[in-house]
């Protein structure tokens, strides 16, 4: 949490916190990123479990599907 100091009566500094939006913004971005990572992980697991007929219908060969399924969840 970032803090700023402002002066008030008698020249004494007082602590003032940033607005709630400044705090929630990064938290929401992290939550969104975690959601994307979870979706990627599930989609890659599903891709790894598909049989060759389904992959062929989608226009993907087994080698490409395996390469994609083996990527870590944080890689795009």
Q: What is the pLDDT of residues 11-30, one digit of tens each?
A: 666 555 567 778 888 999 99
pLDDT at res. 29:
95
Question: Looking at the domain assignment, is residue 7 inside a domain?
Answer: no
Question: Looking at the domain assignment, is residue 71 inside a domain?
Answer: yes
Question: Looking at the domain assignment, is residue 2 inside a domain?
Answer: no
What's the domain count of the chain? 1
Question: Looking at the domain assignment, is residue 68 inside a domain?
Answer: yes
| pTM score over 0.85 | no
Q: Which domain holds residue 24?
A: 19-76
Question: Looking at the domain assignment, is residue 1 inside a domain?
Answer: no
Question: Looking at the domain assignment, is residue 6 inside a domain?
Answer: no
- For 18-37, b where at least 16 C-beta lie within 10 A, e where not — what string? eeeeeeeeeeeeeeeeeeee
pLDDT at res. 23:
82
Question: Looking at the domain assignment, is residue 13 inside a domain?
Answer: no
């Amino acid at each position: 949490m970032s803090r700023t100091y402002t002066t008030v009566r008698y020249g004494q500094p007082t602590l003032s916190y940033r607005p709630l939006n400044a705090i929630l913004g990064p938290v929401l971005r992290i939550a969104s990123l975690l959601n994307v990572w979870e979706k990627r992980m599930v989609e890659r697991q599903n891709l790894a479990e598909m049989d060759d007929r389904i992959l062929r219908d989608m226009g993907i060969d087994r080698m490409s599907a395996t390469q994609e399924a083996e990527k870590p969840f944080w890689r795009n």
